Amino acid sequence: MTLNPQEVLREVFGYDAFRGPQAAIVEHVCAGGSALVLMPTGGGKSLCYQVPALCRPGTAVVVSPLIALMQDQVGALRQAGVRAAALHSAESPEAAAATWRELQAGQLDLLYVSPERLLGGDLIERLAALPLALFAIDEAHCVSQWGHDFRPEYLQLAVLAERFGAIPRIALTATADPRTRAEIVTRLSLEQAVVFIASFDRPNIRYLLRDKSEPRRQLLDFLTTQKGHSGIVYARSRKRVEAFAAALRAAGHDALAYHAGLSAETRSATLERFRLGSGVIVVATIAFGMGIDKPDVRFVAHVDLPKSLEAYYQETGRAGRDGLPAIAWMVHGAGDVPPLRRFIEDSDADPTQKRIEHGRLESLIAFAEASSCRRRILLSYLGEADGSDCGNCDVCLEPNQGMDVTEPARKALSAVYRTGGRFGAAHLVDVLLGGETARIRSLGHHQLGVYGIGRELDRGQWRSLFRQLTARGYLVAAADGHGGLQFGQDALVKPLLRGESRLEVRLPAPARVRRGGAALSGAVTTAAAADSADPDLLAALKAWRLEQARKQRLPPYVVFHDRTLVSIAERRPTALEELAGLTGIGRAKLASYGEAVLEVVRRQQPQA
């Protein structure tokens, strides 16, 4: 039985429509054509070869540089009922022999191999005797000698063109720059291949840049908005990585350090915790990079400038592969630049290469210091200019630089004082805005002088102001851990209240005038979707998923993506047919998990 691409997409993967250029790529490869696919991280490269692998007769051979990546892909495919296996150095001889038997019996749709494994021994000869659907070369930029991920064995993959001229080859990468692209074409003999380029925009990533003052405190402050989320913090040196990791742990975060100075065992244990867990923060040098295909990384934070705008794009691109809202956060200051310049000067690159590196650094500095839309600058650097502001970066969201907030800040402090220093920002903002909440009534806070005196700012601006007052030490969270805000340092609070000092901060633009590009509306839709899902049911589904994942020793997202859980919590399906219509639920997952999921939904009835 052969299925067409659309049926494979629906029945096997549980998705309704191809994304961007996927449909064209799949059609081209299914028809026997070769392709070079340039698509950003999270764009959906895997389906570009997985769907043709299932539509074409024979086995598809996928060359992948990292064992962890292969294992995740094979795990995810098997969950979807696809016959997939991997051959690499971490597999036992028995497992390899079993894989080989399946391969010869025509029982494998996809075979993942490391380049070493493919090129060493006689695997190529043996494959030549079998019906093959296609070759996919993942992370194809590994052929580039200029990149960070150069893998000498990738150069030998040119042999595939010589030996298997009639079999389609599809090379895939998220590296956008034209030089790397040209290198891939020549080194892999892809002159005849059609090049497909997807937009490199990552609309669900919100870029937030901050002036660096006290990076540690700024980071901790940012992390209060990311409770329970997985993320990566990048720092310049091993020493800084260790220091930041320790500071995060001291503040109660589940944070681990990762750099090249740690033993291989420690590093792989860290990667494993990060992949399998949720809410784990890895503080790392750039040694932590390729191989992170975790889709639910919610934030990437930079406490030091990366070395180029490309590096920034790649590093921040690890956030939000699942398409849900994610944040790229960075603090930067003038002090970041000299060490980076020295680093380039001290490297053993030739003068031409050094000039290129200096140029790349300049682009990054210009990006960081710009006062126009960040995404616009980033995309035009990547060769995509569309000229509109994104509405989802700090410049678009917080256009008023250094607004004088002395008066609102005094009102905020008064609200804290009049309510007895026992309440968190949410309630204080309600009071200032004259909200009609039951809590305000029962506490009698509608009778206070500060009730309703803060209508000059909206809720988002007040929240931001409270955060900034806390970050700057005017307010502190009460020690009892209930989130109540109290006065901070006397030396700051008193002069402000007496009118002897003034305060300037950057506030977000009022909600109603925020520019609403496509990017923002996209992020808002998913956020809104997450809001309309029943939080208790979502939590129950996540707990159930974690249990399934643990039992099978798989990362949770391989069982179901967050997106799928959100849509279940939203729709509350009561029958299998209803469940089958939701995103990410194909035939195999419906069969293995359908009943269990319905049971979780039944048990978790909404509160009246």
CB 36 within 8 A of CB 190: yes
**Residue with Cβ nearer ligand ADP (49 or 466):** 49
Q: Which does 561 bind (CB under 5 to 8 A by kind): Zn ion, ligand ADP, none?
A: ligand ADP
The count of other CB atoms within 10 Å of the CB of residue 125 is: 9
Q: Which does 390 bind (CB under 5 to 8 A by kind): ligand ADP, Zn ion, none?
A: Zn ion
- Dist. CA 234–CA 176, nearest whole Å: 22
- Minimum distance of ligand ADP from residue 560's CB (angstroms): 11
**Residue with Cβ nearer ligand ADP (5 or 168):** 5
- Asked if 46 interacts with ligand ADP (CB under 6 A), we say yes
- Asked if 6 interacts with ligand ADP (CB under 6 A), we say no
- Minimum distance of ligand ADP from residue 16's CB (angstroms): 7
Question: Of the candidates 390, 381, 380, 331, which has an alpha carbon nearest to the alpha carbon of residue 523?
Answer: 390
- Asked if 149 interacts with ligand ADP (CB under 6 A), we say no
- Minimum distance of Zn ion from residue 449's CB (angstroms): 40
- Dist. CA 34–CA 172, nearest whole Å: 11
With left for phi above 0 and alpha for psi between -120 and 50, is residue 418 left, alpha or beta?
A: alpha
Per DSSP, the residues of 63-100 read E-S-HHHHHHHHHHHHHTT--EEEESTTS-HHHHHHHH
- Minimum distance of Zn ion from residue 391's CB (angstroms): 6
Q: What type of residue sits at position 544?
A: W
Question: How far lies 318's CA from each of 43, 237, 301, in Å?
Answer: 11, 20, 11
**Part of the chain binding ligand ADP (CB under 6 A), chosen from 38-46, 279-287, 502-510, 548-556:** 38-46
CB 387 within 8 A of CB 376: yes
Q: What type of residue sits at position 62?
A: V
Q: Which does 44 bind (CB under 5 to 8 A by kind): Zn ion, ligand ADP, none?
A: ligand ADP
Interacting positions 169-228 with ligand ADP (CB under 6 A) = none
- Minimum distance of Zn ion from residue 122's CB (angstroms): 54
**Residue with Cβ nearer Zn ion (231 or 399):** 399
- The residue nearest ligand ADP at its CB is 44
- Dist. CA 516–CA 396, nearest whole Å: 9
List CB contacts of 388: < 8 A, sequence separation 6 or more. 376, 517
- Dist. CA 233–CA 257, nearest whole Å: 9
**Residue with Cβ nearer ligand ADP (20 or 58):** 20
Out of 8, 29, 38, 43, name the contact with ligand ADP by CB under 6 A: 43
- Dist. CA 78–CA 86, nearest whole Å: 12
Question: How far lies 128's CA from each of 59, 125, 292, 419, 544, in Å?
Answer: 11, 5, 32, 78, 44
- Dist. CA 198–CA 44, nearest whole Å: 10
Encoded tokens for 324: 């849900």
- Dist. CA 477–CA 461, nearest whole Å: 19
CA 445 to chain CA mean position, Å: 42
- Dist. CA 18–CA 233, nearest whole Å: 33
Q: Which does 39 bind (CB under 5 to 8 A by kind): ligand ADP, Zn ion, none?
A: ligand ADP
- Minimum distance of ligand ADP from residue 293's CB (angstroms): 6
Interacting positions 550-579 with ligand ADP (CB under 6 A) = 561
Out of 42, 52, 147, 454, name the contact with ligand ADP by CB under 6 A: 42
**Residue with Cβ nearer ligand ADP (423 or 557):** 557
Report how many residues bind ligand ADP under the rule CB under 6 A: 17
- Asked if 80 interacts with ligand ADP (CB under 6 A), we say no
- Minimum distance of ligand ADP from residue 608's CB (angstroms): 35
- Dist. CA 521–CA 532, nearest whole Å: 16
Per-residue binding letters, 290-329, with ligand ADP (x by CB under 6 A): ---x-x-------------------------xx-------
Q: Which does 396 bind (CB under 5 to 8 A by kind): Zn ion, ligand ADP, none?
A: Zn ion
**Part of the chain binding ligand ADP (CB under 6 A), chosen from 45-53, 95-103, 120-128, 200-208:** 45-53
**Residue with Cβ nearer Zn ion (140 or 373):** 373
- Minimum distance of Zn ion from residue 392's CB (angstroms): 6
**Part of the chain binding ligand ADP (CB under 6 A), chosen from 34-42, 258-266, 387-395, 412-420:** 34-42
- Minimum distance of Zn ion from residue 387's CB (angstroms): 12
Q: Which helix (H) or strand (E) holds 282?
A: strand 281-284
Per DSSP, the residues of 236-273 read SSHHHHHHHHHHHHHTT--EEEE-TTS-HHHHHHHHHH
Out of 47, 245, 373, 558, name the contact with ligand ADP by CB under 6 A: 47
- Dist. CA 175–CA 179, nearest whole Å: 10
**Part of the chain binding ligand ADP (CB under 6 A), chosen from 12-20, 154-162, 217-225, 230-238:** 12-20
Q: Which does 304 bind (CB under 5 to 8 A by kind): ligand ADP, Zn ion, none?
A: none
Q: What type of residue sits at position 164?
A: F
The contact set with Zn ion (CB under 5 A) reads: 373, 375, 390, 393, 396
Let me know how long the chain is: 608
**Residue with Cβ nearer ligand ADP (68 or 243):** 68
**Residue with Cβ nearer ligand ADP (73 or 470):** 73
Bridge partners, 437 (sequence order):
none
- Minimum distance of Zn ion from residue 595's CB (angstroms): 45
**Residue with Cβ nearer Zn ion (375 or 589):** 375
- Asked if 15 interacts with ligand ADP (CB under 6 A), we say yes
| Interacting residue ranges for ligand ADP, rule: CB under 6 A | 15, 18-19, 22, 39, 41-47, 293, 295, 321-322, 561
